[in-house]
């Protein structure tokens, strides 16, 4: 597993735990979830977390996990935009944080894994001491 996979594992833990918190915590009415229920959001977060977990180990499919993670964090920022529109004046802070997090996911998704080249050791000719003059 490389750096991309390690970051996907981080996202998996974050998303699964965040989703679990949505399923178990009671949120005040002032933080209502527009369009989807709290339970639906929790299931979405956990599903994306599972996709990130799988993507960490399947290199050719990690793009899907990165895309889902970025889309979810953008959707969560849009949720706060709704709350800001509805009068929660401090929601803009969450908008900035979640959009920055979504952008971070996209930037890391664009990084290739480093290529490690191992050159074979060339045999030395008999009589040569390999530079021990």
Higher pLDDT, 16 or 82: 16
Residue 102 is assigned to a structural domain of this protein: yes
Calpha distance 78→105 (Å, rounded): 17
Calpha distance 108→100 (Å, rounded): 12
pLDDT for the residue 70: 96
pLDDT for the residue 36: 77
Residue 118's SS3 state is coil
49 pLDDT band, cuts 50/70/90, is: very high
**pTM tops 0.85:** no
Rounded average pLDDT over 51-72: 91
Residue 98 is assigned to a structural domain of this protein: yes
Q: Which residues contact 44 (CB under 8 A, 6 or more apart)?
A: 19, 36, 72
pLDDT for the residue 90: 87
> Which stretch of 18-22, 33-37, 125-129 has the lowest confidence by average pLDDT?
125-129
Number of domains in the chain: 1
Residue 33 is assigned to a structural domain of this protein: yes
Query: Domain range holding 14?
Result: 3-110
Residue range 68-118, pLDDT digits in tens:
999 999 999 998 898 888 887 888 999 999 999 999 999 999 888 777 788
Q: In whole angstroms, what separates CA 25 from the centre of its chain?
A: 23
Residue 130 is assigned to a structural domain of this protein: no
Residue 15 is assigned to a structural domain of this protein: yes
Residue 17 is assigned to a structural domain of this protein: yes
With contact defined as beta carbons under 8 Å apart, do 55 and 65 qualify? yes
Residue 127 is assigned to a structural domain of this protein: no
Residue 61 is assigned to a structural domain of this protein: yes
CA dist list (Å): 11 to 30, 42, 133: 27, 15, 55
Sign of CA dihedral 27, 33, 37, 43: negative
């Amino acid at each position: 597993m490389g750096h991309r996979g390690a970051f996907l594992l981080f996202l998996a833990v974050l998303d699964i735990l965040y989703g679990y918190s949505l399923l178990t915590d009671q949120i005040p009415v002032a933080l209502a979830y527009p369009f989807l229920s709290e339970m639906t959001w929790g299931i979405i977060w956990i599903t994306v977390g599972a996709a990130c977990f799988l993507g960490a180990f399947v290199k050719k499919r990690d793009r899907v996990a990165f895309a889902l993670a970025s889309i979810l964090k953008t959707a969560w920022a849009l949720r706060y935009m709704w709350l800001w529109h509805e009068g929660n004046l401090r929601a803009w802070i969450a908008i900035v944080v979640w959009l920055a997090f979504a952008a971070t996911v996209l930037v890391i998704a664009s990084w290739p894994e480093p290529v490690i080249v191992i050159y074979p050791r060339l045999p030395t000719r008999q009589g040569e001491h390999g530079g021990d003059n």
